[in-house]
């Protein structure tokens, strides 16, 4: 029987989700990992598929930004789709060779996973001829948009669990103007399952439909990040030494076994800057997110293709007086600068670090982030 790795990642920035899929597709093609299913949530984002029509995004760029939405063009099939808090997103990274090389059957199998998952909670969902996705009498509850390259799959499905359906006002979902959307919460009210319960059933149904044995795989690393803000708004950026990637970042580090995120954040601040904050000086940004680590950026692993590692990161902020200076650890960083928020967002290469900067400077966390604190 095939093996199916299942990774339940919690909150993942959409940009980081694209990176994780790219790395896993390459690893799957090289035989470094088995078939893998990523289960996660995204912050609010609108995505346009290959057949997407910009006119189906109903809000202006300014309206989207004001409401905390991002906008991405992607290589998946389909038109325009919304992702956001309370929506279970699944990205199957499957190798359909040699005996599953049928695009229609694959799409139907993804639909079947969602139909069975809805049925597990007493909801009748079905296919509608000519329309991809799964539908109830009250509207569409699951969207599907996939990408295949050399019979390796990516992208996948979005299943509305406790999704704020008002967010769909930003788009014409999947380009279909005469169809509504719904969620398990809307359909079931107080009987609606938790997000974790839906994840569990989706993973089990995926294994059954794809005739595989599911194995849940935890993240390989637990990390912290700290946005150090000097005075009103200067952000500390540290440049990693060339052997460690040579990119700009806020302060980051790994948690040690048994160490709390708060204690790890305070330790990393001291080790990497020489500052010695009290635990009470650190602000929990209520932002926990997961991402894939590109092995090519990890010292000692860049010489050959390897499977990506996954990290779950907890973000903090530290405010320091305007005259504060730091002392770098030369084994980690070779340069530091205090920059404006705009320059920090321009220089930071990773979506999660950029989000943490915005949160440290006052942007409220979306609902899915707040509940993870």
**Whether the Cβ atoms of residue 168 and residue 57 lie closer than 8 Å to each other:** no
Q: d(Cα 330, Cα 112) in Å, to the nearest integer? A: 54
Distances (CA, A) of 39 to 58, 156, 174, 295, 333: 28, 10, 21, 21, 34
Q: How many CA atoms within 13 Å lie on the side-chain side of 38? A: 31
**Whether the Cβ atoms of residue 9 and residue 310 lie closer than 8 Å to each other:** yes
Q: b/e map of 31-62 (b: 16 or more CB within 10 Å)?
A: eebbbbbbbbbbbbbbbbbeebeeebbebeee
Q: d(Cα 108, Cα 97) in Å, to the nearest integer? A: 17
Q: Which of 270, 289, 281, 290 is closest to 229 using CA atoms?
A: 281
**Whether the Cβ atoms of residue 4 and residue 210 lie closer than 8 Å to each other:** yes
Chain CA centroid to CA 49, Å: 18
77 is catalytic: no
Q: Which of 363, 324, 88, 290 is closest to 206 using CA atoms?
A: 88
From the list 6, 110, 174, 292, the catalytic residue is 174
Strand-pair partners of 359: none
Q: d(Cα 216, Cα 4) in Å, to the nearest integer? A: 8
**Whether the Cβ atoms of residue 365 and residue 359 lie closer than 8 Å to each other:** yes
Distances (CA, A) of 312 to 80, 113, 130, 245, 309: 29, 27, 40, 20, 10
Residues acting as catalytic residues = 174
């Amino acid at each position: 029987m095939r093996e199916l790795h299942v990774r339940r990642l919690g909150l993942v920035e959409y940009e980081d989700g694209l990176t994780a899929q790219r790395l896993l597709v390459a690893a799957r093609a090289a035989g470094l990992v088995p078939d893998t299913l990523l289960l996660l949530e995204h912050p609010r984002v609108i995505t346009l598929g290959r057949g997407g029509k910009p006119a189906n995004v109903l809000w202006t760029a300014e309206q989207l930004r004001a409401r905390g939405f991002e906008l991405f063009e992607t290589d998946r099939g389909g038109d325009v789709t919304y992702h956001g808090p309370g929506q279970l997103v699944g990205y199957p990274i499957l190798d359909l060779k040699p005996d599953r090389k049928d695009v229609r059957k694959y799409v139907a199998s993804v639909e079947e996973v969602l139909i069975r998952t809805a049925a597990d909670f007493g909801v009748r969902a079905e296919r509608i001829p000519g329309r991809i996705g799964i539908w109830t009498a009250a509207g569409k509850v699951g969207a599907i948009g996939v990408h295949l390259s050399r019979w390796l799959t990516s992208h996948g499905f979005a299943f509305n669990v406790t999704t704020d359906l008002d967010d769909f006002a930003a788009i014409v979902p999947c380009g279909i103007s005469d169809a509504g959307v719904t969620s398990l919460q809307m359909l079931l009210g107080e009987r609606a399952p938790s997000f974790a319960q839906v994840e569990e059933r989706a993973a089990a149904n995926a294994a059954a439909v794809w005739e595989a044995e599911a194995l849940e795989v935890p993240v390989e690393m637990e990390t912290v990040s700290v946005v150090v803000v000097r005075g009103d708004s200067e952000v500390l950026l540290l440049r990693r030494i060339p052997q460690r990637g040579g990119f700009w970042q806020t302060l980051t580090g790994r948690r040690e076994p048994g160490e709390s995120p708060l204690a790890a954040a305070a330790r990393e601040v001291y080790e990497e800057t020489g500052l010695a904050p009290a635990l009470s000086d650190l602000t929990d940004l209520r932002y926990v997110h997961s991402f894939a680590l590109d092995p090519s950026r990890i010292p000692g692993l860049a010489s050959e293709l390897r499977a990506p590692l996954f990290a779950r990161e907890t973000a903090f902020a530290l405010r320091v007086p305007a005259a504060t200076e730091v002392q770098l650890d030369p084994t980690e960083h070779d340069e530091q600068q205090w920059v404006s928020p705009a320059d920090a967002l321009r220089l930071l290469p990773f979506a999660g670090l950029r989000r943490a900067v915005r949160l440290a400077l006052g942007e409220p966390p979306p609902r899915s982030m707040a509940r993870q604190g």
